Amino acid sequence: MKIKWFGHSCFLITADNGVSVLMDPFDKTVGYKVPKVAADIVSTSHDHFDHNYTEAMQGEFFHVNKTGKFSHKEIGVVGVATFHDEENGTQRGKNTIYKFIVDGIHICHCGDLGHILTPEQVEKIGQVDILLLPVGGFATIGPEQAIEVTNLLNPSLIIPMHFQTEVLKFPLAGVESFLEKMGGGKYIDKQEVEFDKKSLLRLSANVMVLQYC
């Protein structure tokens, strides 16, 4: 299984059999290069322009934008309702966390999570091997809350997202504060990484920062 980061909260997962999942595509106003790719499944955690730009997609796709448990082309999906803020969505609306089960690996994408998860939400999410986690604050959880969410979900690997970079046009915090509070991490000088269940067990760092295109 491969994971590729396009910047912000947008990732492409490709299973060993070639089935692909694109998460939270963004438009050109965000600052990153718009990911104009084909995917079998496209998920949007909420209807904000930096997470739902499905117009960039090439070809037909299965749109994941609801809660519950379902599957498509042998990819298991769990959608759990959360909020974009700490006020039950009254400030920024709703958000859906999606967990995808790909090649036996459980990948959890938190979207624009804005609060600490409840025990009920943690139970619905279930096992998490790789956690794609917002850490930049302002519109989502920040470093301290991100660590609390990490402790609740107990993943083997965290890949930070939704943080400030030199091209992002939003006022978010950088990833450095989260790494410091986590006690370190590893910067990977590439956009795409590959995992299987065994390689996750052999990881030397539990936080991995990818490069964007």
Q: Return the SS3 of 152.
A: helix
Q: What's the gap between Cα 197 and its chain centre?
A: 19
| Residue-level pLDDT at 36 | 87
Query: Position 23: which residue type?
Result: M
Contact 135, 160 (CB under 8 A): yes
Q: In angstroms, rounded to a whole number, what is the distance separating the alpha carbons of residues 146 and 39?
A: 29
Q: What is the pTM of this model?
A: 0.96
Contact 76, 68 (CB under 8 A): no
Collect contacts of 199-202 with beta carbons under 8 A, ≥24 apart.
Answer: 200/105, 200/129, 200/130, 200/156, 200/157, 201/156
CATH class of the 2-209 domain in this structure: alpha beta
| Residue-level pLDDT at 204 | 63
Contact 92, 139 (CB under 8 A): yes
Q: In angstroms, rounded to a whole number, what is the distance separating the alpha carbons of residues 161 and 177?
A: 13
Q: In angstroms, rounded to a whole number, what is the distance separating the alpha carbons of residues 68 and 165?
A: 33
Q: In angstroms, rounded to a whole number, what is the distance separating the alpha carbons of residues 160 and 154?
A: 15
Tens-binned pLDDT, residue by residue, of the chain (213 aa): 999 999 999 999 999 999 999 999 999 999 999 988 999 999 999 988 889 999 989 899 999 999 999 999 999 999 999 998 888 878 877 999 999 999 999 999 999 999 999 999 999 999 999 999 999 999 999 999 999 999 999 999 999 999 999 999 989 999 999 999 999 999 999 999 999 988 887 776 699 999 997
Q: Where are the domains of the chain?
A: 2-209
